[in-house]
Chain A
Amino acid sequence: MATAPQMPTTHPRWARSPFYFNSASHLLRISREKATNLQELVDALRTCGESSIFQHTFQTLEEHHFINKGFSNDFSHWAFAACNEVELAERLSAIDIREFTSIATLRERLVHIIETYLQKNPRAATRVAMEPFYLMASDLVVVPTPYVARNLEEFAEGIRRVSVHAIYYHFIDARLRLKLNNNDFSVWLELEMDMAQAADRLNRIDIYTSSLEGVRRNILKVVEAEIVRT
C-alpha cells in the first residue's frame, strides 16, 4: 500500500488516507533442489531459499486460485499424488499460511511435520516418488493499478474491478509484508476508516474453502453490508 496524501476527515465516510490497489506479477525460477523421496524433500526444505518456500505455499494458492477445495500447497499435493502418503498429505494440507508472518517459521513447521511423520514411518523416507518434486522460486514484481479508494463505495468498486492477482496481493501475500496475521484491506478499514469489526470479519474469510473469486465475493459482501449500515 503506497503512502497517501491526507484526505479530509470531517465526513465519517472519507478515509484518512486512500487505499491504492496494486497487483503482483510473478516469474518462476527453477531452483537447483530436487527431491525424489520424502527424505530428500526434508533436506531440500532445510536449505532452499525462502522464495522457494513462498512459491510452494503462498504463491501456489494464487496459481490455483480457481480451485475451491482439495488444494492447499504443493508439498501436500506431492505427498498425496506422487508419494501416496495420504496421512502426511492431510497434515501438510492443514497448514494455514495465514498463521505465518515469516517464511522461517513456516519452513520450520513444514520440516517438523515431515520429520515427525518419517519417524513414525521410516520406510516412507526413501521410497521413490512417482514424480520428482522440483523446487521453484518466485520473483514477484508489484504493479500499480489505476484504482484508488477514498471511501467505502470506491473501495467496493476497486474490489470489483481489480484482477484476482490484486486480491491475492493484498489479501494473502500481505501477511508476509505486514508481518501480521492480517491483510491490507483489513488494515485500511481499521486504521483509515475506523471500521474494526468489518476489518475483523474480512480477515476471517476462509481462503482454503473458496476460490479467489469467491474471496472477492465474500469481501464485497462485508464491504457492501458496511456501506448499507453506515
Chain B
Amino acid sequence: MKEKNPERKTASETSKSQVRDQQDPAAKTSAAVDDPVVQESVSAPAPPGGKERRFRQTDLPEHFIERRRHPRISTEQPPPPAPPRLDDYAAIIGKPELDEIRFLARHLRGKTVKMVNSTAVGGGVAEILNRLIPLMNELEIPTRWDVITGGNDFYEVTKGFHNALHGGEYNLTQQIKDIFMSYNEQNRQRMEFADDLFVIHDPQPAGLVRSKSQTRGRWIWRCHIDLSNPHPGVWDFLKPMIEQYDASIFSAPAFTRQLNVPQYLFYPSIDPLSEKNKDLPEEFVNKVCDDFGIDRSRPVITQISRFDRLKDPVGVIEAYKLVKKYVDCQLVLAGGGATDDPEGAVVLQEVMDAAGDDPDVIILNLPPWSALEINALQRASTVIVQKSLKEGFGLTVTEGLWKEKPVVAGAVGGIPTQIIHKLTGVLVHSVEGCAYQIRYLLTHPEFAAQVGKNGREHAKENFLITVNLKRWLLLFQILLGMARPNETI
C-alpha cells in the first residue's frame, strides 16, 4: 500500500490567528505540541458546514474533542494510482478464477469492442470504464472508449430525460426529441462503427444504434439507471431505439422494463484494488481515526453517504441515540456533496442540528478525493449503516460487505440484492428497527462476525470487477455465437 503523504496540506478556511485565539495552550495534547503536522493542522480545519458545533462537557479526552471540532481533512487531490493488472487480482479471487477469466477471453482474442457513453470524467459509468477497459485490453480484446459530444441544449435534454426516467415530471416536446436525435445523428456520422461489439451506455447515446444495419457487430445497451417508474412519454420515445439492440443489460431486476430483446443482469461492481477498497495497514486506519477524533476503544457506527435526505442521515442519528441508551458508542457520518450542492449544505446543517451537542456524533464533510480516508473509516467501523430511503444499487453497501463488516441497510433499491436478511447483513425499514439491529450486532459480536464474513463472500462472488469482467466475456461469447448455454466452449 502506498502510504498517504503525511505532509498533505489540511483545510484552512479558518485563519491561523483565529485558531490561535481559540486555542487553550494548556489543553493541547502532547502530540499537538510535538508534531509539526498536527500543529499545522490545528491552524487549518473548518468544521462541517462552516459553523462550529459546541460539545457538552464530557469525560472524552480533550484531544478527541479537539479533532472532532477541527478534523484534519486533506485539501489536495492525490495523483491517481496506476490501474491494476489482472494478475494483481490473483491474491483476492484465486488462481482458478483468474484461469477461468483468461480461458473465456482466449476465444475472444482479437475481437474488437467499442464502448460509448456521454462523459469521460466524473460519474459512475466513467469510473467503471476506466477500470474495466484496461483489463479487457490486457486480455487482448482491443477495447476503445468513445464519448459523444453535444451542446448545452443536448445536455439539458439528457439531464431532463435522466430525471424523467427516474419518474420525474417532464414536458416532452417535438423540439426536445429533435435536439436529442440530431446530436445522436451528428455523433453517429462522426464515429466509426467497424468493431465486433458495440456497448452503448445509458440513454444519451442510445440513438447510435441507427448504424446497426451498416455494421457486422453486435449491439448491447447497458442501462445503469432505474427504469422501474419512467416518465411514459420519454420511455415511449426511447423504447423503439432500445429494441433495435441485440441485448440489454440492467443493474437489478427491479430496474427493468418489458422489452423484446434479451435482458441480462450485471450487478454494479467495486474494484477491490481501488483506493476505496484495497487493504490498508492498521497504522493508516489508526492515523485517519486520529485525524478525525475517532476513539477506537469504543464501538464505531458509520454511515458513508452524501448529505442527502434520501440517505436519511437524520434518521441514522435518531437510531444512534436509541442505541446510545444501552451501548456506549460513536457515530460517524461521513460524505460529501455539502460544498458544491446548496441542498447538501442545508441537509448538513439539519444533520448538525440533529446531532446537537453530542460529542460522539462525528460529522465529516469530505472532499471527493477522500477514497483512502473513507476506506479507513469503513475498516475502523464496528457496524456500517446505509439507511437509505431510496437508492440505486447502493455501492457503499457493497464496500461495507467487502470489508467484512456487519451492514445494516434500508430495504430499498438494489440493497436487498446485496443483503440477505440476517445472512449477509441486516435489512431495516424504520429508525427503531435500525436501532434494534445495531444494538443486536454490537452486543452479539459472533453473529456480527459471521454476517460480516458472509457479506464479504457475497461481494466476492457477485459484486467485484472481476466477476463483472467475466460476465462481459460470457455475454460477448454468447452474442458472437462462440458459446451456447449448457455447452462446453
Instruction: Select one of A2, A25, A136, A163 contacting B265, CB under 8 A.
Output: A136
Contacts of B489 in A (CB 8 A): 141-144
CB distance from A85 to the nearest CB of B (A): 15
Interface string of A84-96 (1 = CB under 8 A from B): 0000000000000
In the assembled complex, the CB of A28 is this many whole angstroms from the nearest CB of chain B, namely 4
CB within 8 Å for A141 and B470 given contacts A77-B420, A131-B416: no
User: Contact at A163–B97, with CB atoms within 8 Å?
Assistant: yes
A63 near B100 with CB under 8 A, answer: no
Interface string of B425-439 (1 = CB under 8 A from A): 001000000000000
In the assembled complex, the Cα of A27 lies from the Cα of B474 at a distance in Å of 7
List chain B residues, Cβ under 8 A from A65: 457, 461
Within the assembled complex, what's the spacing in Å between the Cα atoms of A132 and B421?
15
- A67 contacts B423, C-beta separation under 8 Å: yes
- Chain B residues contacting A2 (CB-CB under 8 Å) are 488
Contact present for A130 and B411 (CB under 8 Å)? yes
Task: From known contacts A65-B461, A134-B254, A143-B104, infer whether A161 and B474 are also in contact, taking CB-CB under 8 Å.
Answer: no
B221 at the interface (CB under 8 A from A): no
Residue of B256, B462, B487 touching A63 (CB-CB under 8 A): B462
Cα distance, A141 to B203, chains bound together (Å): 30
A102 interfacial by beta-carbon distance below 8 Å = no
A30 at the interface (CB under 8 A from B): yes
Which of A27, A66, A70, A162 is the one whose CB lies under 8 Å from B96?
A162
Task: Compute how far the CA of A34 lies from the CA of B263 in the bound complex, rounded to whole angstroms.
Answer: 14
The interface residues of chain B lying within 8 Å CB-to-CB of A144 are 103, 488-489
A166 and B474 CA atoms in complex are apart in Å by 17
Q: Is B193 an interface residue (CB 8 A)?
A: no
Question: For B96, what are the chain A residues with a Cβ–Cβ distance below 8 Å?
Answer: 23, 145, 161-163, 166
> Closest Cβ of chain B: how far from A176's Cβ, in Å?
9
Docked Cα-Cα span, A64 to B263, in Å, equals 23
Contact A66 B454 (CB under 8 A): yes
Q: Mark A141-177, 1 if CB is under 8 A from B, else 0.
A: 1111110000000000000011101100000000000
Complex CA–CA separation, A142 to B489 (angstroms) = 6
Give chain B residues whose Cβ lies under 8 Å from the Cβ of A26: 474
Which among B411, B416, B462, B488 has the greatest number of chain A C-beta atoms within 10 A?
B488
* Chain B residue contacts of A165, Cβ below 8 A: 100
Task: Mark the stretch among B74-82, B231-239, B478-486 that contacts chain A.
Answer: B478-486
Q: Which residues of chain A are near B478, meaning CB under 8 Å?
A: 27, 139, 141
Answer yes or no: A29 CB below 8 A from chain B CBs. Answer: yes
Are A23 and B265 in touch, CB under 8 angstroms? Answer: no
Complex CA distance for A149 and B13, rounded to whole angstroms: 68
User: Which residues on A sit within 8 Å (CB–CB) of B487?
Assistant: 141-142
| Pair A25/B250 contact, Cβ less than 8 Å | no
- In the complex, A36→B483 CA distance in Å? 34
Chain A CB within 8 A of B99 CB = yes
Q: Given that A141-B477, A142-B489 are contacting pairs, would A23 and B420 also be in contact in the complex, using a CB cutoff of 8 Å?
A: no
**Chain B residue total in the interface (Cβ 8 A):** 44
Docked-complex contact B461 and A66, CB < 8 angstroms: yes
Contact (Cβ within 8 A) A66 B104: no
Known: A29-B262, A30-B263, A130-B411. Contact between A139 and B100, CB under 8 A? Answer: no
A66 touches B100 (CB 8 A): no
| B residues less than 8 Å from A134 (CB atoms) | 253-254
Cβ-defined contact, B263 with A29, below 8 A: yes
Q: Which residue of B262, B458, B474, B475 is within 8 Å of A66 (Cβ)?
A: B458
Distance between Cα atoms of A139 and B266 in the complex (Å): 13
Structural contact, B265 and A28, CB atoms closer than 8 A? yes
A135 to chain B, nearest CB (A): 8
Check if B461 sits within 8 Å of A27, measured CB to CB.
no
Residues of B within 8 A of A63 (CB): 461-462
Shortest Cβ gap from A88 to chain B (Å) = 17
| A60 to B477 CA separation, bound complex (whole angstroms) | 23
Q: Chain A contacts of B427 at CB under 8 A?
A: 81
- Which residues of chain B have C-beta atoms less than 8 A from A166's C-beta? 96
Q: How large is the interface on A (under 10, 10 to 19, 20 to 34, 35 or more residues)?
A: 35 or more
Flag B240-277 by CB within 8 Å of A: 1 or 0 each. 00000000001001101010001111000000000000
B471 interface hit (Cβ, 8 Å): yes
Partner of A142, one of B411, B453, B458, B488: B488
A22 located at the interface, meaning its Cβ lies under 8 Å from any Cβ of chain B in the complex: yes
With A136-B265, A139-B485 given, is the CB distance from A30 to B253 under 8 Å?
yes
Least Cβ–Cβ distance between B251 and chain A, in angstroms:
11
Q: How far is the CA of A144 from the CA of B427 in the complex (A)?
A: 39
Contact B420 A71, beta carbon cutoff 8 Å? yes
Query: Is B422 part of the contact surface with A, judged by Cβ < 8 Å?
Result: yes
Do B250 and A30 touch across chains, with their CB atoms under 8 A apart?
yes
CA distance A39 to B11 in the complex (A): 59
Partner of A140, one of B250, B416, B475, B486: B486
Tell me how far the C-beta of B242 lies from the nearest C-beta in chain A, rounded to whole angstroms.
Answer: 14
Query: From residue 167 to 216 of chain A, which have CB atoms closer than 8 A to chain B?
Result: none
Q: A25 to chain B: which residues have CB within 8 Å?
A: 100, 104, 470, 474
Contact of B486 among A28, A67, A142, A146 (CB under 8 A): A142
A229 at the interface (CB under 8 A from B): no
By a CB distance below 8 angstroms, the chain B residues around A70 are 422-423
Q: Provide the bound-state CA to CA distance between A145 and B96, in Å.
A: 8
CB of B265 within 8 A of CB of A29, answer: yes
Check if A32 sits within 8 Å of B258, measured CB to CB.
yes
Chain A residues within 8 Å of B250, by CB = 30
CB–CB B475/A27 < 8 A: yes
Per the bound structure, the CA–CA distance linking A71 and B461 in Å amounts to 16
B421 proximity list for chain A (CB < 8 A):
81
CB-based nearest A residue for B460: A66
Minimal Cβ-Cβ distance residue in B for A2: B488
The answer to the question of B342 belonging to the interface, with a C-beta cut-off of 8 Å to chain A, is no
- Ordered by A's residue number, 22 sampled pairs between the chains whose C-beta atoms are within 8 Å are A25-B104, A27-B475, A27-B478, A29-B265, A30-B253, A30-B256, A64-B420, A71-B423, A77-B420, A131-B416, A132-B254, A134-B253, A134-B254, A136-B253, A141-B104, A141-B474, A141-B486, A161-B95, A161-B96, A162-B96, A163-B97, A166-B96
Known contacts A142-B486, A143-B104, A144-B488; 6 further A-B pairs (Cβ under 8 A): A30-B256, A65-B457, A139-B485, A141-B478, A142-B487, A143-B489
Closest 10 CB pairs of A and B: A134-B253, A66-B457, A163-B96, A139-B485, A142-B488, A28-B265, A30-B263, A27-B474, A141-B483, A30-B253
A→B interface (CB under 8 Å): 2, 22-23, 25-30, 32, 34, 51, 63-67, 70-71, 77, 81, 130-132, 134, 136, 139-146, 161-163, 165-166
